[in-house]
Every structure is written in structure tokens, then in C-alpha cells.
Structure 1
Amino acid sequence: MRVQFIDPGAFRTELSLQHAALVPDGAGGYTESWSETATVFGFIEPVRASAPFGAGQRHEEVTHRITLRFRPGVGGGMRLVRATRAFTILTAHDPDETGRYLVCLAKEKQT
């Protein structure tokens, strides 16, 4: 397996790692509330991928690849926030299985 190297200076974008919590709304439903898990530094790369077809299925669309230093517990459904931009994490994986980096494929949510 080839070991991947990323310049440590590339991790200069400060991001807030957040997880969702469902809060009862008092009418039998729930509202989504986000809580900060950690502040991390990463490298954001714009990419474009989509899956326009799929009867009755969620249509995932990757808009960005965000690389972080490895951190356990990061996964789909969490989000990374930078100022007014929010990136919902679709997948997170260790690209070379060395425990050094974490690559998150994310979709930017328009706010």
C-alpha cells in the first residue's frame, strides 16, 4: 500500500466539527439541533460528483473533499462548519490506513 503524504501546512482552514441531536418540538415531532464536538483544521478541495438517477433513493451529491488529521468518531451525518458555510459529511475514511489523515466527502448545504 502506498503511503500518502500531505503537506502539513495545507491544514490551515479552521472548521467546527458538529453532530446532530434531535430535540422534541412539543408537538410530537423533532427539530434538529447541532452541537460542536471539536475545532479542527483541514484542507478543503472543491470537487463535483452526483448520482441523478435512483428511483425512490436518496440522491447523494459530493461537492467537496475535506482532509483532516485523523480523529476517531467522525462519520456520515456529522458536519463541518466554516464561518457561514456548512458541509454535511457523507463519508469519512483513512486513505492509506496509517491513522494520519481522514478524508471526508461532503456536500455543501446552502444556508
Structure 2
Amino acid sequence: MAEFIDPGKLRTELGLQRCVAQSDGLGGQIENWAEVATVFGMIEPISAQSLVGADQTRQAITHRITMRWRGDVSAGTRLTGQGRTFAIVTSHDPDETGRYLVCRTLEHAR
């Protein structure tokens, strides 16, 4: 049975970004993020936890982001929007119909 996802809830505009390594001219590499697409999705918070280290406290927040299916979304890519960055940890097709993609993401808040 196909999972029902209301497409009207996919209204948050997000930028899909991929990491592009560039030479730094000294034999190393610099990682830059390049936007490869604009997508619309639904963001749902799942959990939050406090991380303490090096005399700093940060919040690690996990979200479930649902969007229309794309074949180029995987762990290592990220979504950005509303001044926030969501690192994609996993992505899957919830009902294997090729209609939607559900991403589990991690956001580090300060």
C-alpha cells in the first residue's frame, strides 16, 4: 500500500547542495558547497540534544525532510533554507513508488 503524503505540505523552499573540492594551490583541497537544485519540502523536527565540548554548547537537531523524489540526493549532500543548513544523513523512498523522498537530516544550532 502506498504511503499518503499531502503534496500541498511540500512548500518550504530549500537549496540542494553538493560538496565540490577545489585545489588550494598548495597541494591541498578546499571544500566548497555548490547549489545544484532548488526543491520544495516539508520539514518535521524529530529530536534535539545538547552537545558540550571545548567550552561550548551546541544543539544537534534531527529532522525528517520530505520532498519529491530525486535520484541525486544521498548522504553527504545537504539542504539549506531559511538561514539553516541540514546535512543529509540518510534518504529513502518511503513506499518505493518513485514519488517522494524522505531524508533524515542533522542541523547544528548554536
Give the TM-score, by structure 1 length: 0.82
CA distance in 2, matches of 1:73, 1:62: 24
Q: Take 1:75 and 1:105, find their aligned partners in 2: how far apart are those partners?
A: 10
1:46 and 2:45 aligned:
yes
TM-score by structure 2 length? 0.83
2:3 is aligned to 4
CA distance in 2, matches of 1:95, 1:39: 21
Amino acid of the structure 2 residue aligned with 1:105:
R
How many residue pairs end up in the alignment?
Answer: 101
Which residues of structure 1 form unaligned runs of 5+?
A: 51-60
The equivalent of 2:27 in structure 1 is 28
Name the CA distance, whole Å, in 1 between partners of 2:36 and 2:89. Answer: 17
Contact 2:61/2:109 (<8 A) preserved: no
Secondary structure of the residue that 1:9 maps to in structure 2?
A: helix
Q: Please list, as runs of the form range in 1=range in 2, the aligned pairs for 1:1-111 lying within 5 A after superposition.
A: 2-48=1-47, 63-110=62-109
Please say if residues 62 and 105 of structure 1, whose CA atoms lie closer than 8 Å, have aligned partners that are also in contact: no
Cα RMSD of the aligned pairs, angstroms, is 2.0
**Which one has the bigger strand percentage?**
2
Supply the AA of the counterpart residue of 1:16.
G
Of 28-37 and 86-95, more deviation after overlay is shown by: 28-37
How far off its partner does 1:25 sit? 1.5
The answer on whether the counterparts of 1:43 and 1:66 sit within 8 Å (CA) in structure 2 is yes
Moved over 6 A (4+): none
* Residues 40-99 of structure 1: per-residue CA shift (max 9 Å, x gap): 00000001278xxxxxxxxxx761110000111110000000031010101110011000
